[in-house]
A and B are shown apart, each in its own frame.
Chain A
């Protein structure tokens, strides 16, 4: 690969790809062919329209979410079509995530896809402040059997009486509701175990 792949948001509703593809390749075809369906949400795939490397973003899409999706897609495409190489928008793994997750790369890609990494960090910070008797905190991706939607899960284990736990839990949730946007909350789940 002779040049880096880049992604820039040039206008409010237009993203432009600059891809070092060998020959002509349709971006959608590449995505459909090479990216596992679970890594390319159906809703987004339906909306995907690529014309000469330019993608028009549908009205009403949160730009942060869209940028996260494109960044993840770009990374996957480069890996599959060129055997890897320099990538200017590859998400870095923050230390706090690496500390709490057994697969921080997977969590990081998911968070960038939906633009929620900063929300996740804020959620983790609130959890740490809220639960005085926190024993373990782990972060991972999970999918529900019912709706098949992925979530990033903050799973905590505490040693505390039920009523004391509920008081701390409610403080945590109010702080989440106050400080974290709905776009973040829609993809983050708090689980607990009173052990």
Chain B
């Protein structure tokens, strides 16, 4: 499945009538859908780099780290933002006493940010610098025993 399809669900959820009793839950779930679209797009990108996740419990931080150690400012920015979005997702689906993720502005901002970050990832995948980016990430994975990732070819 194309993970970008999660973005449509996210948009539908926070685009629903905000006066409904379930609007808060919809906004929370929109944040989660947006994050998982981004996370899985990043996993897909790493597969193009010939890198796979092996430490499943630490998959989120492993994928983020591969991007922030890529030495590419755009991908490094994506990695930093992934960490923010992961935190917003955690709040959305684990912290019921915190009203923050129920606010429309927060759901919309996460959706817009994740959408843009996926565009950024796709642009770096198609860029002339991709072979160099690929070599740097693979080298980092090979030299980092605790990366939670492995080079697959």
Contact = CB atoms under 8 A, between A and B. Distances in A.
Interface string A168-195: 0110011011100010011011111111
Classify chain A's interface size.
20 to 34
A34 B101 CA distance: 39
11 contacts: A146-B60, A146-B90, A147-B58, A147-B60, A162-B108, A166-B113, A174-B73, A174-B77, A190-B87, A193-B103, A193-B106
Interface of A: 43, 60, 142, 144-149, 151, 153, 162-163, 165-166, 169-170, 173-174, 176-178, 182, 185-186, 188-195
Contacts of A193: 100, 103, 106
Nearest to A149: B61
Contacts of A142: 87
A178 B73 contact: yes
Chain B, interface SS category: helix
B83 A189 contact: yes
Chain A, interface SS category: mixed
A163 to B, nearest CB: 8
Given A182-B65, A182-B76, A43 B146 contact: yes
A153 B142 CA distance: 29
A174 B65 CA distance: 16
Contacts of A144: 60, 86, 90
A47 B87 CA distance: 30
Given A145-B90, A191-B84, A162 B57 contact: no
A166 B112 contact: yes
B100 A177 contact: no
B109 A145 contact: no
A-B pairs with lowest CB-CB distance, top 5: A194-B105, A177-B76, A147-B58, A177-B77, A182-B68
